[in-house]
Amino acid sequence: MKLRHLIPFAAIGAVGGAGFWVYSFLSAKDRQIEEQRRVIGELGQKLDRSWSSDIVADLRVDGVEAGTMKLTFIQYQPGTEKPVFRKDFTLPGEEVYVDALVVSFERPLVEAADGLRGKSLLLFRRAFGDKQQPVDGVALTAASAADEVPALYAVDPKPSDFEKQIWADFWQLANDPTKAKERGVRVAQGEAPHVKAAPGQVYKLTLRASAGLEMTPRIPAAALPEKK
């Protein structure tokens, strides 16, 4: 074959080789981008699970006068806003505390949505005012002392042995780091968020999947009744 015939073939070969290189490069780059998207997506899901929260109750301030607070506590069925427990009561003072026991699990368990350990567990105990001792507060449960896991707070309709044991061993888990680590428990403690009660305000109580109990207003301050 003459030289003049070889040149076009050489050119075609060069173009083909370049095309294959570009294709391979782009394919590799696309695969890298897809992998990055997958990793970012998984991280996003983990963060969403870690920072997710459920509204577990509302506390409504029906009135504040003469050093007393008229309040209504409404608890919801887990994962819903269906009321399962309601109590009206009066407390002394201007600041209200909501006392609860909270168990939070290690973050990797929460990020992996690991069954019962995929979110925090909670038991409400009582509400009390700043002008009284906590022990003199109002009970926020309809459960009897014989209940292994009060029905209102059970994660499953039929509580598992694991859930029963968590509450049975609560104070041991709070004081024994080794035992807590064996159960995947990051922290077991009592929590009592509190606010200065504003008449007409509704405070939502939310439980974070990897943290604890929070108490924040549902109604903007601008929408509250004007002070006289």
Whether pLDDT at 62 is above 70: yes
Q: Are 135 and 188 part of one and the same domain?
A: yes
What pLDDT shows up at residue 168?
86
Report yes or no on 157 lying in a domain: yes
pLDDT band of 49, cuts 50, 70, 90:
very low
Same domain membership, residue 157 and residue 122: yes
Helices marked H in the chain — which ranges? 3-51, 107-111, 161-168, 170-175, 177-182
33 and 74 both lie in a single domain = no
Same structural domain for residues 34 and 71? no
pLDDT tens-digit map of 141-183? 755 444 444 444 444 455 667 777 888 898 999 999 999 999 8
94 and 154 assigned to the same domain: yes
> pLDDT grade, residue 127 (50/70/90)?
very high
Say yes or no to pLDDT of 102 above 50.
yes
Q: In total, how many domains does the chain have?
A: 2
Q: Is residue 153 located within the same domain as residue 208?
A: yes
Confidence (pLDDT) at 82: 84
Percentage, residues of the chain above pLDDT 90? 33
Six-digit token string for 81: 């806003």
* Residue 67 belongs to domain spanning: 53-219
- Same domain? For 144 and 79 the reply is yes
Rounded to whole angstroms, the Cα distance separating 7 from 13 reads 10
